[in-house]
Amino acid sequence: MGTGTKCIGLSKMRKSGDILNDSHAEVIAKRSFQRYLFHQLRTAVSLQQDSIFMPGTKTGMWKLKPDLHFVFFSSHTPCGDASIIPMLELEDQPCSPVSLSAEAISDPVVLENKRKSEEIPAHLMTKRMRTKPRDLPREIPSDTAMHYSTGKDGSLQISPDSSNSGPPANGSAAGPAAAKGTVPVGAKVVDIYRTGAKCVPGEAGDTQKPGVEYHQVGLLRVKPGRGDQTCSMSCSDKLARWNVLGCQGALLMHFLEEPIYLAALVIGKCPYSPEAMKRAMIDRCRHVSGLPRGFQVQELKMLQSDLLFEHSRCAVQAKRTNCPGKVVPCGAAIGWSAVPEQPVDVSCSGFRQGTTKKSVGSLQARSRVCKVELFNMFQNLVSSISEKKRPESLRVKKLETYWEYKEAAASYQEAWRMLQRQAFGSWIRNPPDYQQFK
């Protein structure tokens, strides 16, 4: 589980791997999940029966036990492309629109998207990974009134013509058919929800025209930060990447026969568009081919819950109608993982909460989910296995740095190269010297 809304700027990044660059809730949840996976692998290696993993077909390799699925819940739509959705105004409509809640449309506070500006990042968010099979929320039906699609420049175009509602085209999701969808009967599209994430260098920029043409859709975006620019890609982009490469990351792929994919993504009660989610999570990568064995573009099941996160911006604002002052999100990021030792991790500005300037660089200042801490978990796992029982990728040559171990995960790196080459060519990667720690 994770909460958080902050990122650090480029000037605050550290080459020692002991700071969290991105503390958005989705990322904290995913890194907490990786911590859980390391613990489960350690349990499996020690031959305990209650691990989620079972031996694979090759020496030192493991796979998930059958009928085990992971569901990602997010209380709000991810920042970036998935948040660029139509904003509706009701016209004599007796029922609430199916994709946007009536509260969200009528409450002006909600119209400030969670990441609309750097000054007031909105919506403290909670995410959670589930390991137990369960019934998923029902998919929300939709009555077609108008269709929206992207124009040649990638901006949203609104049309009452229902003949344009074919499936999205393959290839670039910023193309003419990338963002087709529907809006409810009796609703009028008056604007689009904004995202604070900025287009990365090398991508066509937003037009910033008034109304529905403000954003272009289908583009890679980078998160805003306080002060200087961040190097953190939007959560929409990261989720789309995880939907191809898996949630386990490069280090864990040394031990896994197949990537660990999400079975479903569930979004809480908030401004939401099934078409925008599909465009951002799947359609931008659908055309990617030539992936190594085991990797694929997942047909991720995406649904919306009717549950409003009780600590969301609009829920808190509703309780404070007579209270002066503005509501701002908590500056800390909270992570929780199902591990026996120190399951809760609270960080602020990339370090464990309570860290002083003097203590920066010490073990006590590290978040449990920063790069160097997860790397330590990986190294401890490797050390617990005799060399002859290790995966082949960890036997062939001597590896030392975080970068070397990541690069040695050959199938994962090949899949990432294919994804970059065919879909995410402008992705911002941290320079190698930020990953040379041991």
Give Rg (Cα) of the chain: 22
Calculate ∠ Cα 94-100-106, nearest 5°. Answer: 70
- Comparing C-alpha atoms, which of 195, 199, 193, 192 is closest to residue 174? 199
SS3 assignment for 166-208: CCCCCCCCCCCCCCCEEECCCEEEEEECCCCCEECCCCCCCCC
Known catalytic residue at 26: yes
> 3-class DSSP state for residue 265?
strand
User: Rounded to whole angstroms, how far apart are CA atoms 368 and 402?
Assistant: 16
- Look-up: residue for tokens 């949630």? 247
Torsion of CA 326, 269, 74, 213, to 10 degrees: -80
Q: Which residues pair with 23 in a beta bridge?
A: 6
Helix axes of 371-383 and 25-45: crossing angle, nearest 10 degrees: 10
> Which DSSP category does 394 fall into?
G
| Per-residue tokens: 102 | 């009536």
Cite the DSSP H helix spans in 46-107: 102-106
Contact in structure between 84 and 276 (CB atoms under 8 Å):
yes
Helix axes of 235-245 and 25-45: crossing angle, nearest 10 degrees: 30
Residues recognised as catalytic: 26
